[in-house]
Amino acid sequence: MIADILAYVAGTLLIVGAFFSLAAAIGILRLPDLYTRMHAASKAGTLGSGLAFVAIAVIAMDGSVALRALAGFVFFLLTAPISAHLLAKAAYAAGYRPSDIMQINDLEDEK
């Protein structure tokens, strides 16, 4: 009985995570410039893969596997947005300018 409930919870988490990963992939394909694409990949992609980690932790029925899955989720949650921020700042320093639809550019004075 409890295994069936955990299977449904894990399946739901995987479907929601797949939806966020799909949204990230569509954002990468459809958004106009490097910065908005990186935003889609770092935010929605992190949430999608994080929900997959949580689904692994739920369905594992083993404490060590669940702990490793949750540790991976926390590590990914801490590192992916920071690395995306640093990559965006490096891309701006290398000369990749945002598209014309960006209204506020806080890095405009920095070179």
Domain segments of the chain as ranges: 2-94
Q: Percent of the chain at pLDDT above 90?
A: 64
What's the pLDDT tens digit per position in 4-61?
999 999 999 999 999 999 999 999 999 999 989 998 889 999 999 999 999 999 999 8
pLDDT at 108: 75
DSSP state letter for 109: S
Q: Angle, nearest 10°, between helix axes 34-60 and 63-94?
A: 170
State the Cα–Cα distance between residues 9 and 14, nearest whole angstrom.
9
Query: pLDDT category, 110, cuts 50, 70, 90?
Result: low
Q: Nearest-5° angle of CA 45, CA 50, CA 53?
A: 135
Q: Is the pLDDT of residue 107 over 80?
A: no
Which among 69, 77, 8 has a CA at the least distance from the CA of 43? 77
| pTM, 2 dp | 0.82
Q: What pLDDT was estimated at residue 71? A: 95
CA distance 105 to 88: 13
pLDDT at 111: 55
Instruction: Say if CB 17 and CB 51 are below 8 A apart.
Output: yes
CA distance 43 to 47: 6
Q: Of the candidates 92, 18, 5, which has an alpha carbon nearest to the alpha carbon of residue 51? A: 18
